[in-house]
């Protein structure tokens, strides 16, 4: 099973097109997922049951359903409903790319709700009280104390989720979207070379994922300056030289066992 | 109180507070005059924190009245904001905002609650940080400071709102012994400047030097109020005698 460099080179433009689709789906899912997750998180944490319960159901349902099934349901299932098929939104639901994004975003949002909630709940009550005691209004306390801290607490979990679902976008091929995996599969079916296209795709995925990881690490360093500064103060010289290597290792090995795809 | 007497800084009358079925504060009466320094002590669970947290409405009370500088502490959110502007608070666990620098910690409330401009808030924050002798650390984050330094920043942060009353809830209880002194010194300087203070503390040396009156609480009640000398030298109630012999060994 030799790797065929000339095939890899020839198929590269198509593979890059597939990669562009993967990136597009990922980016749109991130945005749509966040847009859905924020109101659902607020509802999920509301003291009032009428908000809290539906939000809990949303999370329970979409988190417990594989993204693959969600995409099938959105793309093939909704088309069966006359109100959708004849409704104003049909151009969206007739489009495989849009349905892929919707299916993935529902799944992503349900994870994000729990990540955001975890971050918000991890903010010590004492900090919120201190802010209130200073005469800062609850709304401003939310904006300047709770949310910024919740973001910092949630960043690692968010990174794991985002990188997990990026790799998970490989399932969109089943509803005819030609992403990176689907492109590699096409090349394989055309050439009967199982190694070259898949390895090429793997390298491209690897580049994408690591680019994202670098982005997250940059954000982490910026947001968590206050912790880095403390570490520097406490760290012993020997441990200091080990630290970057360790961080790199744990960053790469960030486990992603929880996702149900 | 006669008509000519000045308005008290804090007037508490018939205050009751329940946590569910638990009676945490039982009919508390206490009047604090302007400039007075009150030290509150008592065994754990006696309601000291609850009492001072009711004053700035971190806890809502169930019945009775609390009036702070003429403002009724009640449900009205405008009253709550007004009261919190009059009253600064320092906590046992410092509660500095970890994601902000020392300077930003002190600037946040003036900027958000008073709408102060950035440059002006910076000057104000620097002034109070200098006052608690920590001005040169302004650019650091809280986690880079020792406990005693953090608590002094917390005091400066409260002072930046220029409150007329300061509440302290065991400000030195989570500090290593060698850092307690630097915090108490700052509090004593504040007392010398005429600040009205209520301090929950078991630092009896501080109480003797600073307190105008000492309050002893037990099981949600104020058992005894006396001037510092009488409080320590001639306690009237058995409960206070027992408590003092315990903490003074
Ligand atoms: N949020 C709460 N819910 C229920 N009970 C509470 C709550 N806060 C305090 N209590 C109870 O009220 C009583 C008084 O508590 P408080 O914290 O005022 O005591 P304290 O005198 O400050 O004690 P310590 O010296 O330990 O700080 C305690 O019995 C405590 O268990
Ligand atoms: Mg207490």
Tell if the CB–CB gap between B113 and A148 is shorter than 8 Å. no
- Does the pTM surpass 0.90? The reply is no
Residue in this structure with the two tokens 């650091």, named with its chain if needed = B140
Task: Residue count of chain B, please give it.
Answer: 249
Q: Cα(B62) to centroid of ligand 2, in Å?
A: 19
Examine residue B2 and state whether it is found in any structural domain, yes or no: no
Of B89, B112, B144, the CB nearest to A140: B112
Token pair recorded at residue A48: 């009032």
Query: Which SS3 state, helix, strand or coil, does residue B23 take?
Result: strand
Of B95, B141, B143, the CB nearest to A127: B95
Dihedral (CA of B164, B169, B173, B174) sign: negative
Ligand 1 pocket mutation, candidates B48, B52, B222, criterion most atoms within 8 A of CB? B48
Examine residue A71 and state whether it is found in any structural domain, yes or no: yes
Distances (CA, A) of B21 to A41, B17, B18, B24, B62: 32, 10, 6, 9, 12
Dihedral (CA of A118, A124, A129, A135) sign: negative
Examine residue B3 and state whether it is found in any structural domain, yes or no: no
Ligand nearest to the CA of B44: 1
Partners of B91 on chain A (C-beta within 8 Å) are: 126, 129-130
Check residue A169 and report its DSSP letter: G
Examine residue A261 and state whether it is found in any structural domain, yes or no: no
Best of B54, B77, B109, B160 to disrupt the A interface by mutation (most A CBs within 10 Å)?
B109
Tens of pLDDT, residue by residue over B118-154, are 999 999 999 999 999 999 999 999 999 999 999 999 9
- pLDDT score at A113: 95
Token pair recorded at residue A124: 């010590």
Mean confidence (pLDDT) of chain A: 87
Tell if the CB–CB gap between B157 and A134 is shorter than 8 Å. yes
CA distance, residue B141 to nearest chain A CA (Å): 6
What pairs with residue B13 in β-bridges? B65
Check residue A172 and report its DSSP letter: G
Instruction: Output the residue whose Cα is nearest ligand 1's atom 28.
Output: B45
Tens of pLDDT, residue by residue over A24-47, are 999 999 999 999 999 999 999 999
Ligand nearest to the CA of B40: 1
- pLDDT score at B3: 54
How many distinct structural domains can be found in chain A?
1
Tell if the CB–CB gap between A130 and B95 is shorter than 8 Å. yes
Check residue B63 and report its DSSP letter: E
Q: Give the span between the Cα atoms of B225 and B223, in whole angstroms.
A: 7
Assess contact for A172 and A164: CB atoms under 8 A. no
Tell if the CB–CB gap between A130 and B113 is shorter than 8 Å. no
**Averaged pLDDT for residues A137-156:** 93
Examine residue B4 and state whether it is found in any structural domain, yes or no: no
Give the CATH number, domain containing residue B208: 3.40.50.300
Partners of A135 on chain B (C-beta within 8 Å) are: 81, 84-85, 109, 113, 161
CB distance from A233 to chain B under 8 Å? yes
- pLDDT score at B76: 85
- pLDDT score at A247: 45
Q: Which residues of A62-99 are buried (b: 16+ CB within 10 A; e: fewer)?
A: bbebebbebbbebbeebeeeeebeeeeeeebbeebbbb
Q: What is the mean pLDDT of each run of 10 residues along chain B (249 residues)?
A: 72 96 96 96 96 96 94 88 95 96 97 96 97 94 94 97 97 93 96 96 94 96 94 93 86
Q: Give the span between the Cα atoms of A82 and B78, in whole angstroms.
A: 53
- pLDDT score at B45: 94
**Averaged pLDDT for residues A173-180:** 92
Instruction: Output the residue whose Cα is nearest ligand 1's atom 16.
Output: B47
What pairs with residue B63 in β-bridges? B16
Examine residue A146 and state whether it is found in any structural domain, yes or no: yes
- pLDDT score at B4: 60
Examine residue B5 and state whether it is found in any structural domain, yes or no: no
Examine residue A119 and state whether it is found in any structural domain, yes or no: yes
Examine residue B76 and state whether it is found in any structural domain, yes or no: yes
Check residue A74 and report its DSSP letter: I
Token pair recorded at residue B235: 């306690």
Residue in this structure with the two tokens 């020997």, named with its chain if needed = A238
Q: State the complex-level ipTM.
A: 0.93
Give the CATH number, domain containing residue A104: 1.10.3720.10
Domain residue limits at A32: 5-247
Distances (CA, A) of A81 to A97, A102, A103, A148: 19, 17, 17, 43
Assess contact for A19 and A182: CB atoms under 8 A. no
Check residue A212 and report its DSSP letter: H
Q: Which of A101, A99, A110 is nearest to A65 (CA)?
A: A110
Examine residue B61 and state whether it is found in any structural domain, yes or no: yes
How many distinct structural domains can be found in chain B?
1
Distances (CA, A) of A54 to A49, A133, B236: 8, 34, 60
Partners of A229 on chain B (C-beta within 8 Å) are: 140-141, 143-144
Tens of pLDDT, residue by residue over A191-243, are 999 899 999 999 999 999 999 999 999 999 988 887 776 666 665 444 444 44
**Averaged pLDDT for residues A69-79:** 91
Check residue B170 and report its DSSP letter: S
Task: Residue count of chain A, please give it.
Answer: 261
């Amino acid at each position: 099973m030799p790797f065929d460099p000339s095939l890899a080179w020839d198929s590269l433009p198509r593979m890059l097109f597939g990669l562009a689709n993967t990136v597009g789906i990922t980016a749109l899912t991130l945005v749509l997922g966040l847009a859905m997750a924020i109101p659902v998180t607020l509802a999920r944490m509301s003291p009032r049951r009428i908000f809290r319960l539906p939000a809990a159901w949303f999370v329970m349902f979409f988190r417990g359903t594989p993204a693959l099934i969600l995409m099938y349901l959105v793309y093939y299932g909704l088309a069966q409903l006359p109100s959708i098929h004849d409704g104003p939104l049909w151009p969206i639901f007739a489009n495989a790319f849009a349905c892929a994004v919707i299916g993935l975003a529902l799944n992503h949002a349900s994870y994000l709700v729990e990540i955001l909630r975890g971050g918000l709940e991890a903010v010590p009550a004492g900090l919120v009280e201190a802010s209130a005691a200073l005469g800062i209004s609850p709304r401003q306390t939310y904006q300047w104390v709770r949310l910024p801290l919740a973001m910092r607490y949630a960043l690692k979990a968010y990174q794991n989720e985002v990188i997990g679902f990026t790799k998970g976008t490989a399932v969109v091929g089943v509803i005819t979207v030609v992403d990176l995996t689907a492109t590699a599969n096409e090349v394989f079916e055309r050439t009967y070379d199982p190694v070259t296209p898949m390895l090429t795709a793997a390298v491209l995925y690897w580049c994408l994922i690591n680019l994202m990881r670098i982005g997250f690490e940059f954000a982490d360093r910026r947001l968590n300056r206050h912790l880095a500064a403390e570490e520097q103060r406490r760290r012993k010289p020997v441990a200091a030289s080990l630290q970057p290597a360790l961080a790199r290792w744990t960053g790469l090995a960030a486990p992603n066992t929880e996702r149900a795809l | 109180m006669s008509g000519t007497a000045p308005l008290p800084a804090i007037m508490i009358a018939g205050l009751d507070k329940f946590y569910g079925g638990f009676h945490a504060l039982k009919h508390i009466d206490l009047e604090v005059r302007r400039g007075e320094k009150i030290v509150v002590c008592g065994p754990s669970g006696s309601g000291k924190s609850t009492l001072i947290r009711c004053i700035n409405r971190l806890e809502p009370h169930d019945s009775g009245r609390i009036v702070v500088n003429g403002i009724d502490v009640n449900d009205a959110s405008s009253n709550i904001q007004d009261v919190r502007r009059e009253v600064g608070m320092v906590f046992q666990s410092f509660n500095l905002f970890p994601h902000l620098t020392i300077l930003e910690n002190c600037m946040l409330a003036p900027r958000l609650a008073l709408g102060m401009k950035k440059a002006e808030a910076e000057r104000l924050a620097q002034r109070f940080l200098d006052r608690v002798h920590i001005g040169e650390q302004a650019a650091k984050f809280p986690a880079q400071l020792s406990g005693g330094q953090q608590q002094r920043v917390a005091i400066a942060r409260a002072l930046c709102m220029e409150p007329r009353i300061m509440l302290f809830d065991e400000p030195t209880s989570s500090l290593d012994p060698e850092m307690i002194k630097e915090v108490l010194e700052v509090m004593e300087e504040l007392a010398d400047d005429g600040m009205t203070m209520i301090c929950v503390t078991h630092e009896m040396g501080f109480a003797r030097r600073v307190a105008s009156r000492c309050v002893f609480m037990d099981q949600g009640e104020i058992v005894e109020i006396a001037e510092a000398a009488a409080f320590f030298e001639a306690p009237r109630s058995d409960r206070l005698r027992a408590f003092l012999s315990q903490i003074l060994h």
